[in-house]
């Protein structure tokens, strides 16, 4: 038995793997896909599987696709329930649970505020208090009506909308990882605008690592953190914001008040699920530094890093950063 074990281990060590990386524009942004496989052909084939899976998910959850299940739910707000796939039903159900967990700091019904706050350069004046108050009258995860038996979703108020901007990419990379693991793909990493999942190890046998940017000089890496069968999601306001009268307004809106969040520049959340990390990163942005840290400490198996508007770093105890960097 000992000899057999040694032979098996020797064979595994001699097995060669290749690492292939490709970038695809999906869901309106770039996805970087890295696959570690026994051949380039196998790696490229699995990258195609991932691309098709993400396209499939986008078709379900996109608010821009008029035929998506999300669009159909929104079109029928205040009119009638919409029968949806089990996949969308479960995603909405989990989103409501996350809203309850975060006391409304994360809320997929925030989408009705998209007509008030615009961050594409078209907004000429700040929204009025009346406009903001009107928009949040349609916000409220508590109002989403689910019928498990019929698999229907109903938004009871005209003008009410749901959107998966704060969870959709995390969900997509989780599903792509799940697909690869079902196909016994040796290892890989899938990332998109702050959302990253990994499985297995690099071809060298080392863990995947994630670079934390230095808030004082973002082109530099402050520290590298190992990722082992885990995920990270980062939300920031470095690129997407508006400025009026010298004041910066973040694109991350507090769904409870209708106003842009303040006090934080970046949040990174490490957990086993990109979907979970994605939603929690947004929620902590809304909560603020102190409340966000206290909230994270109450959860199991997550770590967070917050960079405030003064570029000071706040983190949970499991994150180790060399103070000399």
Give yes or no for a contact between 86 and 200, defined as CB atoms under 8 angstroms apart. no
The CA-based diameter of the chain, rounded to the nearest angstrom, is 78
Which of 50, 140, 64, 56 lies closest to 95 in space, CA to CA?
A: 140
Give yes or no for a contact between 174 and 274, defined as CB atoms under 8 angstroms apart. yes
Cβ neighbours for 120, distance < 8 A, ≥ 6 positions apart: none
Cβ neighbours for 212, distance < 8 A, ≥ 6 positions apart: 221, 222, 223, 224, 225, 268, 305, 321
Give yes or no for a contact between 135 and 115, defined as CB atoms under 8 angstroms apart. yes
- CA 141/CA 196 separation, integer angstroms: 27
Binding site feature residues: 166, 278, 282
Binding site feature residues for Mg(2+): 166, 278, 282
Q: What is the DSSP string of 152-167?
A: EEE--STT-----TTT
Tokens of 254: 């507090």
Which of 170, 164, 27, 171 lies closest to 109 in space, CA to CA?
A: 164
Could you give the C-alpha distances from 88 to 33, 61, 147, in angstroms and in order?
A: 24, 8, 13
- CA 136/CA 154 separation, integer angstroms: 18
């Amino acid at each position: 038995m000992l000899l057999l074990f040694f032979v098996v281990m020797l064979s595994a060590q001699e097995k060669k793997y290749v690492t292939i990386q490709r970038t695809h524009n999906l869901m309106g942004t770039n996805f970087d896909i890295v696959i570690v496989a026994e051949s380039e052909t196998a790696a490229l084939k699995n990258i195609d599987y991932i691309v098709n899976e993400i396209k499939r998910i986008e078709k379900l959850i996109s608010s821009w696709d008029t035929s998506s299940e999300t669009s159909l739910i929104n079109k029928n707000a205040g009119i009638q329930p919409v029968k949806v796939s089990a996949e969308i039903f479960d995603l909405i159900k989990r989103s409501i649970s996350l809203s309850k967990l975060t006391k409304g700091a994360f809320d997929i019904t925030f989408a009705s505020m998209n007509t008030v706050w615009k961050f594409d350069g078209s907004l000429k004046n700040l929204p009025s208090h009346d406009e903001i108050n009107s928009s949040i009258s349609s916000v409220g995860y508590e109002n989403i009506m689910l019928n498990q038996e019929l698999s229907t979703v109903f938004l009871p108020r005209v003008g009410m909308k749901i959107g998966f901007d704060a969870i959709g990419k995390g969900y997509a990379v989780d599903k792509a990882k799940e697909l690869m693991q079902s196909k016994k793909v040796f290892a890989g990493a899938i990332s998109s605008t702050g959302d990253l999942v990994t499985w297995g190890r690099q071809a060298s046998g080392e863990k995947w690592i994630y670079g934390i940017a230095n808030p004082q000089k973002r082109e530099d890496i402050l520290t590298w953190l190992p990722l082992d069968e885990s995920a990270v999601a980062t939300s920031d306001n470095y690129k997407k914001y508006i400025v009026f009268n010298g004041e910066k307004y973040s694109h991350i809106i507090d769904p409870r008040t209708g106003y842009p969040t303040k006090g934080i520049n970046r949040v990174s959340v490490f957990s086993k699920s990109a979907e979970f990390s994605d939603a929690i990163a947004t929620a902590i942005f809304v909560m603020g530094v102190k409340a966000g840290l206290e909230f994270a400490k109450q959860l199991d198996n997550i770590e967070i890093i917050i960079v405030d508007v003064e570029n000071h770093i706040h983190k949970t105890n499991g994150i180790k950063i060399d103070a000399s960097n």
